[in-house]
Chains A and B, each alone.
Chain A
C-alpha cells in the first residue's frame, strides 16, 4: 500500500518504520530534513523535504496514487490542513490526523477525518494509575474512555463468580489467567486466589469496580 506520512517526529517516524518493515510503499514528508534521522536504518521508503500541504510536494509524493495518509506533525492546524487537503482535494481513501485538542478532534471526526487524540488517552490512563493503583492498566481504546486492566484476585474474593464482578455496560471480565493458562471468562467462572483477571472497564466505572474488588 502506498502511504504518505507528513511529519517525521516521534510518532511519524515510528509509523514510517513500522509500515516500511511491513513492506508498504512509504513516503515521509517533513519541513526539516534533519528529522529524517529518526528513521531506522532499514527504512525503505522515500523522504521529501517540504511543507505537507504544499501542492507540489504532495504531487511529488504521488498523493494521487496514495491509499493512505497520516498527518503527524506537532501542529494541530498543519495536520488539519494536510488531512483535509488529502481527503477533499486528492481523494486519498484513508486519512488520519493526530490532533491534540480534543474539541478540535471531535469537529474533524464529525467531518469525516479520523483523528487520534493522545491527550485524553494519556490523561485518562495516568489518572487511573494514580488514583486506582491496584488496577494495572494495560492499554485503552478510543480516547481512553475504556481501559483494559489486570488485577490479581485477592483472598476475600475467592469462591465468588465472574458474575459478581460484572457491571453491565460498564465493566466485564474478558479473560482469566490461572496458573499460567488463559481462558475466556464466563459468568459462572469461579474465582481462585492468584487468578489474574483481564478486565475491560469504562473509566467512569472504575471506582465502583474497586469497591467490588475490595469486598
Chain B
C-alpha cells in the first residue's frame, strides 16, 4: 500500500514512520531542502523536494498509484488544493487533511476531495469539553459530524444496572450498547446479556441522549 504525504515537518515525519511500521510504502514531498535532507535520513528513499500542490510534482511522486494521500502543510489553501487534485485528477481512494485554521474547517469537505479532516484545535477543545462534562463516560470517537459518538464506560460497583439484563435496562431511545468486554473477552450483547461491575461497555449514542445514558449506567451525579 502506498501513502503519499504532502508536508514533511515533524508531523509528516512521525506519520511517515508510523505508516511504514504498519506496512505502507511512504513517499513524502516538502518544499524545504533542509527538511527533505533530514527526512531522507530518517525514512530513506522516496522524499521529493518540491511543491506538493503542483500537479507535476504529484505525478512525479506517483500519486496515481497511491492508496492514501495526507495533506499536512501549514497552509489551508495548499492542503485543499492537494486534496482536490488527489481526488479528481489522481483518483486516490482515501484523502486525509489537517485543518490549520479552525475557521477554515467548513471548507474541508467532499467537494474539495477531503474524506477525513483533522482539526487539532477542534479535537483538543472537544476532548477537554468531554472530560469535564461527563466524567466516567469517555468519548472515543465523534460520529456523523459530531451529532453522535462512540462512548466508553467501565461499569462501577455502585451502578444501578449491575446484574440487570440489557433488555430490562430501559435504555434511552437513541442509544445502543455495542459491546461488553469482561475479563478480557469480547461479548456482543443481546437482550438477555447481564451487565456486571467492571464491564468495559462500548455504546453509541446521540449527543442529546448521552447524559441520560450516563445517568442510567452510572447513576445520576
A72 to B205, CA, bound (A): 47
- Asked if B107 is at the interface of the complex by the 8 Å CB criterion, the answer is yes
Query: Do residues B54 and A78 form an inter-chain contact, with CB atoms below 8 A?
Result: no
Q: Is the CB of B55 within 8 A of A54?
A: no
Docked-complex contact A53 and B55, CB < 8 angstroms: no
User: Which residues from chain B contact A53 at a C-beta distance below 8 Å?
Assistant: 77, 104, 107
User: A75 an interface residue at 8 Å Cβ cutoff?
Assistant: yes
Q: How many angstroms between the C-alpha atoms of A56 and B80 in the bound complex?
A: 18
**How many interface residues does A have (CB within 8 Å)?**
16
Task: Tell whether, in the assembled complex, residue A81 and residue B54 are in contact, meaning their CB atoms are under 8 Å apart.
Answer: no
A107 with B55: CB separation less than 8 A:
yes
Q: Is the CB of A77 within 8 A of B78?
A: yes
Is the Cβ of B55 less than 8 Å from the Cβ of A80?
Answer: no
For chain A residues 64-89, which have a beta carbon within 8 Å of chain B?
Answer: 75, 77-78, 80-81, 84-85, 88
Secondary structure type dominating chain B contacts: helix
Kindly provide the distance from the CB of A49 to the nearest chain B CB, expressed in whole angstroms: 15
- B76: chain A residues at CB < 8 Å are 81
In the bound complex, residues from chain B placing their C-beta under 8 Å from that of A80 are: 77, 81
Contacts of B80 in A (CB 8 A): 77, 81
Cβ of B53 and Cβ of A77 under 8 Å apart? yes
Which residues of A are at the interface with B, using a C-beta cutoff of 8 A? 53-56, 75, 77-78, 80-81, 84-85, 88, 101, 103-104, 107
B interface, CB within 8 angstroms of A: 53-56, 75-78, 80-81, 84-85, 89, 103-104, 106-107, 111-112
Q: Could you write out 30 A-B pairs with CB less than 8 Å apart?
A: A53-B77, A53-B104, A53-B107, A54-B103, A54-B104, A55-B106, A56-B103, A75-B77, A77-B53, A77-B75, A77-B77, A77-B78, A77-B80, A77-B81, A78-B77, A80-B77, A80-B81, A81-B76, A81-B77, A81-B80, A81-B81, A85-B107, A101-B54, A103-B55, A103-B56, A104-B54, A104-B55, A107-B55, A107-B85, A107-B89
